[in-house]
């Protein structure tokens, strides 16, 4: 379960990215977080993974209280989730295989498990044939899927994707969404951050709408449904 | 396995700095090692000269054996003399040969089977009254039956102060060099981490613990330290055996201590310094990129 309770976040330079945001996401849900650029969507993700801590209010992820938790527990928090970053955060001088394997090594998996698991996950995202390539040799959509494979590889209970369809053509965007939907059907909580309204409308899911750091909508159904 | 691979990768990427730090560490170790070798040789030389409160009185060859017992009593009766030991020239020769091992062979080279030494008295002056040492040795030297005496006090005193200076200097040199080594190793590791900060960052985001991220860098530090230790040991050995020992043998009568007898300490010093500096240098330098 994820809980935002009256959360404030201001960055050291004075930007107030979140101004009293509250919502709750149950295990196994599929949630879109939408809003224009600069609304505070990525900040929500940074708080979830303890990249930043809230300046006010409470953020809970499972048993972790983001503000109060000890730094030594942060790795455990992050292992419980798989994050697809807006900027991918791939390592350019590692192959696709190693970029994914890397996340497994980091949590102490055995080389045998890694050799079996990585090709499987790359297959799931449709990149089995690119295992030996380096990220700069791939298209934006392919890099996106490597990042997705890395987020999936440790079988987390929670997948968070920041603009996973931002850099890909509409067809690939739909494929990625289908994949996330499928992962959600298997019981994983999925949070997708996007400003792509067509996709949001197409998948009839819960939508958390943020603007200027405030919650302006939280309901099931399309984004436009509310405004019409 | 992963850790080792990762450490080697980092070294390869960062080889100039790695070599530089191995070199600096080596220089430090060689200086410390040389200081130790000097000090150990001075100590051995001092031992060979005898104790500082000892006077060796050589008995004139003309003195009858029957006179020896009363002569010993006379010496014992001198104030501040603590004990007197009689050593025959054969015993003295055997001792000498034992002390200097193979180098004693030059004795037979010069003298054949003949013993060039004299019978001697070894006189201990009371430690508490060392200030009377000179008057005691003067009295003994004045005795008719004594051919000459050797009290190595002056040389020994000089050596003692030399050794003291060496030890104090060595200690401070060691402290300074340890700091220098620590500085260079920690900077090497910092640079290695800087080179891989992107990777480290991502590792943190996928849930790697700090210990996991640090391990390869600590291994790198230890490898730098041990590498420097092994190479320094070899260099120290070559310098000592092929340069210093022949030089000393050519220039003086001083017998140097065989390297094999000093090498365990050298190994201990170098290994210890390498391990410590490598470990401490890497462990305390790497926090900046872990804070995400
Ligand atoms: N590290 C940061 N330091 C200062 N300001 C930031 C930082 N990250 C984001 N911001 C600011 O916070 C606001 C919200 O940013 P973000 O959460 O990235 O928005 P979104 O992902 O919805 O586009 C923006 O005004 C942005 O400029
Ligand atoms: Mg964003």
Q: Which ligand is nearest to the CA of A211?
A: 1
Residue B179 token pair? 């700091």
- Quick check: CB of A15 below 6 Å from ligand 1? yes
Residues (pLDDT < 50) of chain B are none
Ligand 1 atom nearest to A40, measured from its CA: 17
Min Cα separation B209/chain A (Å): 6
Which parts of chain B fold into alpha helices (H)? 2-13, 15-49, 68-76, 89-100, 105-111, 133-141, 153-195, 197-205, 210-238, 245-251, 259-283
User: A155 φ, ψ to 5°?
Assistant: 55, 55
For B239-269, write each residue's pLDDT tens digit. 888 888 888 777 776 677 888 888 888 888 8
How far apart CA B42 and CA B257 sit, in angstroms, is 9
Tell if the CB–CB gap between A107 and B201 is shorter than 8 Å: no
Q: Is A23 helix (H, G, I), strand (E, B) or coil?
A: strand
pLDDT at site B67 = 84
A130 in Cβ contact with A149 (< 8 Å): no
* pLDDT tens-digit profile, chain A (228 residues): 999 999 999 999 999 999 999 999 999 999 999 998 899 999 999 999 999 999 999 999 999 999 999 988 999 999 999 999 888 889 888 899 999 998 998 888 899 999 999 999 999 888 999 999 999 999 888 898 999 999 999 999 999 999 887 777 888 888 888 889 999 999 999 999 988 788 888 888 999 999 999 999 888 876 555 443
Distance separating alpha carbons of residues B113 and B97, to the nearest angstrom:
13
Chain B nearest C-alpha distance from A59 (Å) = 18
In this structure, are residues A179 and A187 in contact, taking their beta carbons and an 8 Å threshold? no
Contact B205 A89 (CB under 8 A): yes
Which chain A residue has its CA at the smallest distance from B213's CA? A106
- Token pair listed for A77: 């928090």
Distance between CA atoms of residues A123 and B33, nearest Å:
59
What confidence score (pLDDT) does residue B111 get? 66
Chain A residues within 8 A of B204 when measuring between CB atoms: 75, 78
Domain chopping of chain A, boundaries = 91-154
Angle ∠(A91,B279,B39) on CA atoms, nearest 5:
145
Cβ-contact B141, B148 below 8 angstroms: yes
Which tokens go with A97? 């295989």
Kindly state if the Cβ of A38 falls inside 6 Å of ligand 1.
Answer: yes
ipTM attached to this prediction: 0.83
Choose among B46, B45, B53, B49: nearest CA to B123: B53
């Amino acid at each position: 379960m994820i809980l935002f309770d009256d959360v404030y976040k201001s960055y050291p330079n004075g930007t107030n990215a979140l101004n009293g945001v509250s919502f709750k996401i149950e295990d196994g849900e599929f949630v879109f977080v939408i809003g224009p650029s600069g609304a505070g969507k990525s900040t929500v993700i940074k708080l979830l993974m303890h990249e930043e801590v809230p300046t006010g209010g409470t953020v809970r992820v499972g048993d972790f209280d983001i503000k109060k938790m000890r730094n030594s527990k942060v790795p455990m928090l992050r292992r419980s989730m798989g994050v697809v970053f807006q900027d991918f955060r791939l390592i350019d001088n590692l192959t696709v295989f190693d970029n994914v394997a890397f996340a497994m090594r980091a949590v102490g998996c055995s080389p045998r498990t890694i050799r079996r698991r990585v090709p499987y996950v790359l297959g799931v995202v449709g990149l089995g044939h690119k295992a030996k390539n380096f990220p700069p040799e791939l298209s934006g959509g392919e890099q996106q899927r490597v990042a997705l494979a890395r987020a999936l590889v440790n079988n987390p209970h929670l997948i968070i994707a920041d603009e996973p369809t931002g850099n890909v053509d509409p067809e690939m965007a739909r494929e990625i969404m289908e994949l996330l939907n499928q992962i959600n059907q298997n019981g994983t909580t999925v949070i997708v951050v996007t400003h792509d309204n067509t996709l949001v409308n197409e998948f009839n899911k819960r939508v958390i709408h943020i603007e200027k750091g405030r919650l302006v909508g939280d309901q099931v159904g399309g984004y436009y449904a509310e405004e019409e | 396995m992963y850790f080792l691979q990762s450490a080697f990768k980092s070294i390869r990427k960062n080889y100039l700095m790695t070599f530089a730090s191995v070199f600096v560490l080596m220089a430090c170790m060689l200086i410390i090692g040389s200081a130790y070798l000097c000090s150990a040789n001075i100590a051995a030389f001092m031992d060979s000269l005898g104790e500082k409160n000892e006077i060796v009185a050589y008995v004139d060859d003309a003195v009858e054996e029957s006179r020896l017992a009363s002569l010993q009593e006379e010496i014992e009766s001198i104030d501040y003399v603590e004990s007197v030991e009689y050593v025959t020239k054969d015993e003295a020769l055997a001792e000498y040969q034992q002390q200097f091992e193979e180098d004693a062979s030059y004795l037979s080279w010069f003298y054949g089977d003949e013993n060039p030494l004299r019978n001697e008295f070894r006189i201990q002056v009371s430690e508490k009254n060392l200030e009377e040492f000179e008057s005691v040795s003067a009295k003994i030297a004045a005795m008719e039956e004594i051919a000459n005496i050797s009290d190595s006090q002056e040389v020994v005193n000089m050596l003692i102060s030399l050794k003291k200076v060496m030890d104090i200097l060595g200690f401070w040199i060691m402290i300074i060099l340890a700091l220098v080594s620590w500085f260079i190793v920690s900077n090497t590791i910092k640079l290695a981490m800087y080179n891989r900060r992107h990777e480290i960052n991502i590792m943190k985001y996928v849930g790697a613990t700090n210990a996991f991220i640090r391990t390869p860098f600590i291994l790198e530090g230890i490898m730098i330290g041990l590498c420097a230790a092994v190479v320094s040991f070899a260099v120290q050995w070559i310098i000592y055996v092929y340069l210093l020992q022949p030089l000393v043998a050519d220039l003086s009568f001083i017998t140097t201590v065989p390297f094999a007898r000093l090498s365990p300490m050298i190994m201990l010093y170098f290994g210890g310094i390498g391990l410590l500096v490598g470990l401490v240098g890497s462990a305390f330098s790497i926090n900046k990129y872990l804070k995400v």
